[in-house]
Amino acid sequence: MAALPELESRAPVAEPLGEVHGPAVVAFLRHVGCPFSEATMQALSEEADHRPEITWIAVSHAGLEATDRWCAAVGASHRVRLVIDEERAGYAAWGLGRSNLRHFAGRRSLAAVVDLARKGIRNRHPVGSRWQRAGTYAVDAEGKIAWRHIPRHAGELPDLEAAADAALR
């Protein structure tokens, strides 16, 4: 697995994502069915509908059928480009490996699950590894990392408005 890309460094190039042409926001999801992934996808969809000048990408390590079914269930926008990375090669190239038990089942993550449940977002037929670490990156027009969010715990969601602003700088 590669190190996390530094700010101002070139965005990694790895299949199945390939080269990311900015301005773009790339969100690597924990797994489909995860409440945190659902909240992230809903926020991506909302931002994508309001900011079409940015390429919005969601990366899933579940298969295409499971990801499509989940996207339909959570109301994902068709403006968000889906990339299926079942081998997690893209995750690894962007520095995103496995998390630990405390990361997704610690006190802060469990509190965030409760908060999302109150908003109607719950675990739905999970597909993929709960151990996969999430991460979100903004890539500018020069193909450089302009912003990144690597959650300290699974319930820490990215500020996609900040990501979009960084991608457009």
> What is the average per-residue pLDDT within 134-160?
95
**Which pLDDT score, from 0 to 100, does residue 141 have?**
98
- Please list the residues that pair with 98 across neighbouring strands: 132
User: What is the H or E stretch that residue 149 is in?
Assistant: strand 145-149
Q: What is the pTM of this model?
A: 0.92
Banded model confidence at residue 155, pLDDT cuts 50, 70, 90: confident
> What is the per-residue pLDDT across 76-127, written as a single tens digit (0 to 9) for each?
999 999 999 999 999 999 999 887 667 666 777 767 777 777 888 787 777 8
89 within 8 A of 97, measured Cβ to Cβ: no
Cβ-based neighbour number of residue 65 at 10 Å: 10
> What is the per-residue pLDDT across 30-79, written as a single tens digit (0 to 9) for each?
989 899 999 999 999 999 999 999 999 999 999 999 999 999 999 999 99
> What is the average per-residue pLDDT within 135-157?
95
C-alpha radius of gyration, the chain, whole number = 15
31: tokens are 């797994």
Rounded CA-CA distance 149/130 in Å is 19
Banded model confidence at residue 129, pLDDT cuts 50, 70, 90: confident
DSSP 78-112: TTEEEEE-TT-HHHHHTT--B--HHHHHSHHHHHH
Q: Is the peptide bond before 23 cis (omega within 30 degrees of 0)?
A: yes
Average pLDDT for the chain = 92
> What is the average per-residue pLDDT within 24-35?
94
Rounded CA-CA distance 32/127 in Å is 6
6-10, 31-35, 78-82, 137-141: the lowest-pLDDT one = 31-35
